[in-house]
C-alpha cells in the first residue's frame, strides 16, 4: 500500500462524521464518489488496522481523527501493531513473568506494561514487545509451549520505525492502539510531556477523565519534579 493511498484514505476518513458504525452506501460513497473508490479508501485504511468493514458496514479507528502530522508519526506503530502476533500459555500473569525473564536481546517493551511503568495509571493487561525477528521469537515461544491465538496476553511486534525516543514511541503506540491505550497516551503526555516532540489531539472529556482518575501522588510528584 503506497503512502499516497494512505493519505487519500486518511483524507477520506477525516471527512466522515464521527459515529460508531458507518455504511458504505450512505456514508462512504457520497464522500469517495463511487463504490469502487470507497472500497479502495477503506482497503488503504484496513492495511494499517484503521478500518474494519463487512457486509456494507464499516468502523473507523480513532487515530484517523489525529492531525495529519501526527498521523504520519503513527504509521510505524500502526504497521507494527497490524503485524503483531499474540501468544499465550497459562493465559495469566505467569506468561508475562516468563517473558520478562526471557527478554530477547535488543527487545523493547511497550504496551501495556511500559505505559504502566511510566504512569501508574491503568493496570496492564497485555505485554507488547518489539523484537528483531518475529519468526525466531515466535519459534522460541512455541518451543516453550506457548500457543498463537487471539486470547494470549503476549504480543510480539516487528521493529518498524524509530526507537531513539522510547517514551515517545510508547506514547505513539498508545495512540495507534486506541481503546484503553488512548488514556495511557494522555497520562504519558501529562507526566512526560517535556520528552515528547509531538503531541496528539484528544477529546477534552478524555483528558479530564485521566486527570480526575490519575493517582494524586503521581501527579503531585511529577509537578514537584517539574
**DSSP 3-state assignment of 60?**
strand
CATH 1.10.10 assigned to 3-60: yes
Integer Cα distance of 226 and 219 in angstroms: 10
Residue 32 and residue 215: Cα distance in Å, rounded?
Answer: 45
pLDDT digits (tens, 9 = 90+) for 105-142: 999 999 999 999 999 999 999 999 999 999 999 999 99
Mean pLDDT computed over 154-181 = 97
Q: Who's near 202: CB < 8 A, 6+ residues apart?
A: 182, 185, 186
pLDDT of residue 101: 96
Model confidence, pTM: 0.92
Task: Give the residue extent of every domain in the chain.
Answer: 3-60, 68-225
Joined grid coordinates for residue 187: 497520562
Task: Work out whether the CA dihedral 106, 110, 129, 178 comes out positive or negative.
Answer: negative
Q: What pLDDT does residue 215 have?
A: 83
Phi first, then psi: give them for residue 106, nearest 5 degrees: 70, 15
Q: What does the alpha-carbon distance between residue 180 and residue 173 come to, in Å, rounded to a whole number?
A: 12
Amino acid at each position: 500500500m503506497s503512502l499516497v493511498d494512505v493519505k487519500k484514505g486518511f483524507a477520506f476518513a477525516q471527512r466522515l462524521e464521527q459515529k460508531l458504525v458507518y455504511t458504505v452506501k450512505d456514508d462512504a460513497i457520497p464522500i469517495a464518489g463511487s463504490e469502487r473508490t470507497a472500497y479502495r479508501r477503506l482497503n488503504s485504511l484496513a492495511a494499517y488496522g484503521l478500518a474494519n468493514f463487512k457486509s456494507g458496514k464499516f468502523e473507523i479507528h480513532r487515530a484517523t481523527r489525529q492531525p495529519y502530522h501526527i498521523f504520519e508519526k503513527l504509521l510505524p506503530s500502526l504497521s507494527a501493531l497490524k503485524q503483531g502476533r499474540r501468544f499465550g500459555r497459562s493465559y495469566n500473569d505467569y506468561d508475562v513473568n516468563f517473558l520478562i525473564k526471557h527478554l530477547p536481546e535488543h527487545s523493547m517493551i511497550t504496551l501495556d506494561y511500559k505505559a504502566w511503568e511510566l504512569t501508574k495509571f491503568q493496570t496492564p493487561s497485555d505485554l507488547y514487545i518489539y523484537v528483531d525477528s518475529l519468526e525466531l521469537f515466535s519459534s522460541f515461544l512455541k518451543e516453550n509451549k506457548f500457543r498463537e491465538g487471539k486470547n494470549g496476553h503476549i504480543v510480539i511486534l516487528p521493529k518498524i520505525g524509530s526507537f531513539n525516543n522510547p517514551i515517545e514511541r510508547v506514547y505513539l503506540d498508545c495512540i495507534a492502539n486506541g481503546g484503553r491505550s488512548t488514556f495511557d497516551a494522555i497520562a504519558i503526555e501529562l507526566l512526560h510531556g517535556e520528552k515528547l516532540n509531538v503531541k496528539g489531539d484528544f477529546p477534552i472529556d478524555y483528558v479530564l477523565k485521566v486527570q480526575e482518575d490519575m493517582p494524586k501522588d503521581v501527579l503531585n510528584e511529577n509537578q514537584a519534579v517539574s
